[in-house]
Amino acid sequence: MTKQRLEAFSDGVIAILITIMVLELHEPHGAELADLRPLLPKLLSYILSFIYLGIYWNNHHHMLHATRHVSGGVLWANLHLLFWLSLVPFMTSWVGENHAAAWPTAIYGIVLFFSAVAYTILQTVIIRVDGNESLLARAVASDRKGKISLLLYAAAVGLSFVQPWIADLLYVAVAMIWLVPDRRIESRLQTQPAD
């Protein structure tokens, strides 16, 4: 039951985060097509953040599917992840408003970086509870995608001060890497059921 309620709460928070971002797309002041133009960067940053939150929901879903035990530590590691994700709508709005500026672009990357760190912590805490022989431990053994993402986020944060659009490209690239759902877990799940 604990696991089920953890999933339900996380689903709730991520569902709300993914949806309230749209509240930042304020209706344009005029009724012409041209009035939508200034919204374009906001819409693009909304789409990117929507994909990122979708990726987190997807991977979170796979990870918990492979989880056996939920301890107090897991609950807090999960809340820690949700905290960083909760900053995404705010950063999306700021970077959408100032898409060519260095600092918003960099701090968007910092939020993504710490979200990824929080996800890794959650993964580590679950594995510590479930044991090194657990399904999840073997599925994410090397966690290459996780490490590459952290590197690319860090690079993007630095490059924001050179050319913000290079950082933007890197954010898109990391999303692409993850758009493929975590087949490591999915394939293991098919050969060995989690519960």
The reply on whether position 18 binds a copy of itself by CB under 8 A is yes
Q: Pattern 103-122, binding to a copy of itself, x per CB under 8 A?
A: xx--x---------------
The 3-state DSSP class for residue 70 equals coil
Among 56, 98, 127, 162, binds a copy of itself (CB under 8 A): 98
The reply on whether position 2 binds a copy of itself by CB under 8 A is yes
The reply on whether position 5 binds a copy of itself by CB under 8 A is yes
Q: What is the DSSP letter of 142?
A: S
Question: Which CA distances in Å does 62 have to 11, 59, 65, 146, 161?
Answer: 13, 5, 5, 15, 36
Among 38, 131, 158, 181, binds a copy of itself (CB under 8 A): 181
Determine phi and psi for 142, rounding to 5 degrees. -90, -30
Q: What one-letter code names the amino acid at 111?
A: V
Binding segment toward a copy of itself, per CB under 8 A, in 18-26, 117-125, 128-136, 141-149: 18-26
The reply on whether position 161 binds a copy of itself by CB under 8 A is no
CA 156, chain centre distance (Å): 16
The reply on whether position 75 binds a copy of itself by CB under 8 A is yes
CA distance 168 to 4: 36
CB of 126 to a copy of itself, least distance (A): 16
